[in-house]
Amino acid sequence: MERITSRKNRIITTLRDLGREADARRELGLFLCDGNKLLEEAVHAGAEIETVLWKEGGALPTDVPAGQQFLAPAEVFDAASPMANSPGPVFTVRIPDGGCAENPYNAIVLENVQDPGNVGTVIRTANAFGIGAVLLAGACADLYSPKTVRATMGAIFRQRVERHTLATLAETLERWGLPLAGAVLSDRAQNILTTDLSHCAVAVGSEGSGLSRELIDLCRREVIIPMQPDSESLNAAVAASIIMWEMRGRAV
78 plus 128 within the same structural domain? no
Q: What is the pLDDT of residues 12-62, one digit of tens each?
A: 999 999 999 999 999 999 999 999 999 999 999 999 999 999 999 877 766
Q: What is the pLDDT of residue 248?
A: 83
What DSSP line would sit under 71-87, residue for residue? EE-HHHHHHH-SSTT--
Q: Which of 29, 60, 94 is the last residue of a domain?
A: 94
Residue 124, SS3 per DSSP = helix
Q: Are 136 and 148 in contact (CB under 8 A)?
A: no
Q: Distance (Å, rounded) from C-alpha 68 to C-alpha 35?
A: 17
Residue 205, SS3 per DSSP = strand
Domain boundaries, position 221: 107-250
Q: What is the pLDDT of residues 64-87, one digit of tens each?
A: 776 789 999 999 999 999 988 899
Q: Distance (Å, rounded) from C-alpha 148 to C-alpha 113?
A: 12
Q: Which of 71, 94, 117 is the last residue of a domain?
A: 94
Is 230 within a domain?
A: yes
> How many domains are contained in the chain?
2
Q: What is the pLDDT of residues 128-142, one digit of tens each?
A: 999 999 999 999 999
121 plus 190 within the same structural domain? yes
Residue 49, SS3 per DSSP = strand
Q: What is the pLDDT of residues 163-198, one digit of tens each?
A: 999 999 999 999 999 999 999 888 888 898 888 898
Give the residue ranges of DSSP H helices in 185-231: 213-216
Is 101 within a domain?
A: no
**CATH label of the domain that carries residue 181:** 3.40.1280.10
Q: Distance (Å, rounded) from C-alpha 165 to C-alpha 168?
A: 5
Q: Are 54 and 72 in contact (CB under 8 A)?
A: yes
- Chain-wide mean pLDDT for the chain? 91
32 plus 58 within the same structural domain? yes
Q: Which of 25, 60, 94 is the last residue of a domain?
A: 94
Predicted structure pTM score: 0.92
